[in-house]
Amino acid sequence: MTAVRKRLIQTYNTDANYHDDKVRINVGAGSHPMEGWVNIDQDPSSGGIDLVADGRDLPYDDGEVEAVYAGHCLEHLTLDEGLVMLKEFARVVRPGGTVGILVPDIREVFRRYLAGTSDIIQYQVHTPRLIRDMRTINDIFVYNHSVATDEYDSPHRAAYDAPLLVEQLRAAGLEPVAEIDRYDDPRVPVGEWYQFGFDCEPTEED
């Protein structure tokens, strides 16, 4: 385990770290708020939200935030919109702070599809779903419907693999320093194979 990864795990697993005056924000929290974090969503009906705001326009000063986490948020924006949001994260996080980004792992989704495997996953929490055909993949991972439904009212607008996500992060001024554990990271409400992401630090300006 790298020193950076060990430090990140200790940070997110130690309750004492959440009872100080440091600002940690959970952007796109939806129905998954985290204790000790400012839970942000632009949908005021989301349960457990502390602040209604757009992740592309956060009400924080430059370098005011200790840590940012955005799980399954970035894919709901176009690539250009997502880059704007990542740049906003880079703006508000302090030097040496961390930005964690988690998105669906579209490469792994299609690898398993092409291999003909049938996997049962949780989607949403405590809801088992059998992935067996392209219709199911569309329902769970794409659902870019022209008309919103009760189940899918926030379509995915972009798909990511690791090279594209790293490219976007670096374009925003964020350097990946460790992979997020898709199964056991305490910030991830459902540990499953279909997601991936990175913890990042802001890069120094020239």
Q: Mean pLDDT in runs of 10 for the chain (206 residues)?
A: 38 42 92 93 87 96 98 93 98 97 91 77 66 74 56 73 97 98 94 93 82
Instruction: Return the pLDDT at 126.
Output: 64
**Domains in the chain with CATH codes:** 3-104+156-202 (3.40.50.150)
Contacts of 82 (CB under 8 A, 6+ apart): 74, 75, 158, 168
Instruction: Return the pLDDT at 3.
Output: 41
Q: Please tell me the pTM assigned to this model.
A: 0.81
CB atoms within 10 A of CB 23: 17
> Residue 165 phi/psi, 5° resolution?
-65, -45
Instruction: Return the pLDDT at 130.
Output: 72
- What is the rounded distance in angstroms from the CA atom of residue 93 to the CA atom of residue 95? 7
For the chain, the distance separating the N- and C-terminal CA atoms, rounded to the nearest angstrom, is 30
Instruction: Return the pLDDT at 89.
Output: 98
62-87 pLDDT, tens digit each: 999 999 999 999 999 999 999 999 99
Cis peptide before 124 (omega within 30 of 0): yes
